[in-house]
Amino acid sequence: MRASSRPQSAAPPAPDASRLGESQLLIVGLGLIGGSLAAALKAGGFAGTILACDRDADEIARGIEMGIIDGGDTELAAVLPGSSLVVLAVPVLAMDAVMEALAAGLHTAASDVVITDVGSTKAAIRDTAERIFGKLPTNLVLGHPIAGSEKSGVAASNSRLYRQHKVILTPDEDTAPGALCRVRALWDACGATVLEMPVEHHDQVLARTSHLPHLLAFSLVDTLARQDERLDIFRYAAGGFRDFTRIAGSDPVMWRDIFTANRDAVLQALDDFEGGVARLRRAVEEGNGDAMLGILDRASHARHYFDTLLNQTSYQAGYQTMQDNSMRYRVSPGGSVSGRIRVPGDKSVSHRSIMLGALAEGVTEVKGFLEGEDSLATLQAFREMGVAIEGPHQGRVTIHGVGMHGLKAPAGPIYVGNSGTAMRLFAGLLAGQAFDSELTGDASLTKRPMGRVADPLRLMGAKIDTAEGGRPPLKIHGGQPLKGIDYAMPMASAQVKSCLLLAGMYAEGETRVKEPAPTRDHTERMLNGFGYPVEREGDTAWLNGGGSLAAGPIDVPSDISSATFFLVAAAITPGADLTLEHVGINPTRIGVINILKLMGADLELSHQHEVGGEPVADIRVRYAPLKGIDIPVDQVPLAIDEFPALFIAAANAQGTTRLRGAEELRVKESDRIQAMADGLAVLGVENTVVADGIDILGADDGSGAPNYGGGQVDSLGDHRIAMAFAVAGLRARDEIVIDDCANVATSFPGFVELARRVGLIVAPASGDESVACEQREDA
């Protein structure tokens, strides 16, 4: 599987500890973790004093000799006076005695002293602190650096150990903001990425990602080391064995303490693992190749998928998603547009090809699959529900369908990333399943309205819980009998229509959906292509429940939404001549073509034909002066995702372009009307926002000169906003800097490379993300 393209930025600058405001730092426990912290601060230019307390005087002497500490003692009382920040870096089960000594001498420390720790489990340490101090001190910030080595002792200290590694802090609701800020600053000064999560969730996550692997490595090596053939086993062990068992060389005492302190979470993780091993054992015993392939393929691609996911986000956990908003684009003014290109496959068709292929009888072969984050999230979700899927390999995916009722309950929430399409369509599919499920997504998706699908699904008999305001996550209670309904949608939304039609396959009787304006009809076309009859007359589509799907080949057309950025790029750039190949021109998606033609764009369609029921064509675009228009209301639903790019076309037209009837744009990944208006204002393009649209005064004077200035634009994490302003650089006078661009990979992997190939001057850069902390006196 090819990971989504991610621009490589220059290596981050060395951490700077010179501005860390602590006068005296005390590290209690001078092992690998504590010693590496001291070494990192010294290497970063920390100006304060670093002291250490360790029961081994030789370790303190070695630390002084290495130049990473300024002094130390075996007794805490001797080094605590005057300390402004105390870091507890002792084993978890040693924390009791250390905190007793700390509580006894804390009055000698600085008046504003802050305490933190580095323990691998948090609940046990929190409970110890509450018992010894009477309550959790407001100046105590529990933390855990996700870094380490099988080596131990201060001699193994590494000043780079924490660079680009995560440190998880688990503050309590009463933790002093100033204390939290100072601990954040400590780890920032070491080059770490600082995140937060609740104590209990931390212990559950680490039991699975750290504690269980160590437990298994210790167990495997111990088991093999006691066998008669142990010499040959270790003599001929290959790299995989060495890689997996390396961590069995870690400190046994430390890991005994961790397994003891986090016992319940470790045992729960071990139960889950043993269940998985039992399933794989049964498949091997029975020679069940499909079951083996499903497990192995799901594991292999989960590994790649989550690597890709975490390359786009700094950390994703069930309760909180920390977005990496440091990816930015720098777009130089000018450039050209020419050549022949093929943009990635249609996201809407890619989603549906996986969904319908998984529920079909037989094997579905897909080519042209979009390997973006949203589509990969859908693919991974079906793997987690027991569907064997091979690929993607260069856009090719093979889906071994399980039939309408063959899905299995996932082990946990289904994460769909940034994809509103996936969440809304999944809601319809999962409402008809026998098992409970939960749908969740990234921080952006959790702000988007899901009541528009939950409410009509409830009318069908589904039982669905949402967060406040009808927002994700969606908790769907399985086993509910569904009945067909006749539903008139209050808004034009292909996602809502598709959700109800998919639920209708599991409902008794007929499900009819009436839409107030035409929307994309991929679901109806593809259901018919899979042999499930869907009827349509006028503004209403309907089907009967109880049918089945038959597998077949799918050739995914290039996504017209992705093509739009290049259509607009060529339309606004003097001298441009660009051809986009194999673009889907579904009648419900060609609003962008119709609107650009009304504005005077020179667009020519050729080689028109159908692929799997979807019409496709090559589109040639040559520069022609554009004029402002009143966008016809009937074209709005046919171009709803393309308006960010069309706003750039409007900015480069003569006269005013007016958009109305586009309220839907306000509930996309961002409020796209306001986000585009703000960005255009930064560039100097006059615009007026109204509730359901915008007026944009085009800046083109007909001279061919640049039409507006440059500046810094916030994309708000919305991929389409980011790509639209990248295109704007073609007619700008100055550089445009676009912040928060990481999510471009969700819909258009390789956008920057393709843009450069046709002539845009755009480059990725890593922004300097900093944490702003508010210092205040504790109440």
SS3 of 704-759: CCCCECCEEEECCCCHHHHHHHHHHHHHECCCEEEECCHHHHHCCCCHHHHHHHHC
Amino acid at the residue 528: N
- List CB contacts of 74: < 8 A, sequence separation 6 or more: 53, 54, 55, 56, 57, 60
pLDDT for res 442: 82
Distance, in Å, from the CA atom of 645 to the CA atom of 596, rounded to the nearest integer, reads 11
Residue 348 is labelled as binding a ligand: yes
Counting residues of the chain whose pLDDT is more than 90, the rounded percentage is 65
Is 641 assigned a catalytic role?
Answer: yes
Residue 182 is labelled as binding a ligand: no
Residue 448 is labelled as binding a ligand: yes
Q: Could you tell me the CA-to-CA distances from 262 to 63, 122, 250 in Å, in that order?
A: 31, 8, 17
Instruction: Report residue 388's pLDDT band, with 50, 70 and 90 as the boundaries.
Output: confident
Which is catalytic among the residues 374, 618, 641, 695?
A: 641
Parallel, antiparallel or unpaired: strands 396-400 and 363-367: antiparallel
Residue 238 has pLDDT above 70, yes or no: no
Residue 610 has pLDDT above 70, yes or no: yes
What pLDDT, in 10s, does the model give residues 483-522? 999 999 998 889 999 999 999 999 999 999 999 988 888 8
Residue 493 is labelled as binding a ligand: yes
Nearest to 530 by CA among 510, 496, 502, 497: 502
Residue 634 has pLDDT above 80, yes or no: yes
More confident residue, 521 or 696: 696
Residue 331 has pLDDT above 70, yes or no: yes
Measure CA 491 to chain center: 28
Residue 347 is labelled as binding a ligand: yes
Residue 6 is labelled as binding a ligand: no
| Radius of gyration for the alpha carbons in the chain, expressed in angstroms and rounded | 29
Q: What is the pTM of this model?
A: 0.61
Distance, in Å, from the CA atom of 588 to the CA atom of 206, rounded to the nearest integer, reads 47
Distance, in Å, from the CA atom of 397 to the CA atom of 552, rounded to the nearest integer, reads 12
Residue 717 has pLDDT above 50, yes or no: yes
Residue 641 is labelled as binding a ligand: yes
Return phi, psi of residue 171, to 5°: -65, 150
Residue 89 has pLDDT above 70, yes or no: yes
What pLDDT, in 10s, does the model give residues 356-386? 999 999 999 999 898 877 888 899 899 889 8
Nearest to 723 by CA among 747, 700, 695, 706: 747
Distance, in Å, from the CA atom of 520 to the CA atom of 760, rounded to the nearest integer, reads 30
Amino acid at the residue 449: P
Counting residues of the chain whose pLDDT is more than 70, the rounded percentage is 91
Domains in the chain, please, with CATH? 24-197 (3.40.50.720), 199-284 (1.10.3660.10), 327-341+557-766 (3.65.10.10), 347-555 (3.65.10.10)
pLDDT for res 777: 29
What pLDDT, in 10s, does the model give residues 719-764? 999 999 999 999 999 999 999 998 887 778 889 999 999 999 999 8
Whether 562 contacts 618, CB under 8 Å: no
Average pLDDT over residues 527-536: 94
Residue 42 has pLDDT above 90, yes or no: yes
Residue 528 has pLDDT above 60, yes or no: yes
Q: What is the mean pLDDT of the chain?
A: 88
What pLDDT, in 10s, does the model give residues 23-35? 999 999 998 999 9
Residue 41: which H helix or E strand, with range? Answer: helix 32-43
pLDDT for res 226: 74
Instruction: Report residue 772's pLDDT band, with 50, 70 and 90 as the boundaries.
Output: very low
Residue 531 is labelled as binding a ligand: no
Average pLDDT over residues 599-624: 93
Amino acid at the residue 644: P
Residue 62 is labelled as binding a ligand: no
Q: Could you tell me the CA-to-CA distances from 507 to 353, 436, 500, 613, 734 in Å, in that order?
A: 22, 17, 10, 26, 57
Average pLDDT over residues 302-322: 46
Residue 246 is labelled as binding a ligand: no
Average pLDDT over residues 111-128: 93
Residue 420 is labelled as binding a ligand: yes
DSSP 446-506: GGS--HHHHHHHHHTT-EEEEEGGGEEEEEEESSPPEE--EEE-SS--HHHHHHHHHHHTT
Cis amide bond preceding 333, omega within 30:
no
Residue 578: which H helix or E strand, with range? Answer: strand 577-584
Whether 537 contacts 511, CB under 8 Å: no
More confident residue, 656 or 228: 656
pLDDT for res 437: 95
Parallel, antiparallel or unpaired: strands 471-477 and 437-440: antiparallel
Amino acid at the residue 650: A
pLDDT for res 255: 84
Average pLDDT over residues 530-538: 94
DSSP 142-154: -EEE----S--SG
Amino acid at the residue 611: V
pLDDT for res 227: 72
pLDDT for res 232: 64
Residue 71 has pLDDT above 90, yes or no: yes
Quick one: the chain helix, strand, coil %, rounded to 5? 40, 25, 35
Average pLDDT over residues 415-432: 91
Instruction: Report residue 4's pLDDT band, with 50, 70 and 90 as the boundaries.
Output: very low
Residue 322 has pLDDT above 50, yes or no: no
Distance, in Å, from the CA atom of 725 to the CA atom of 722, rounded to the nearest integer, reads 6
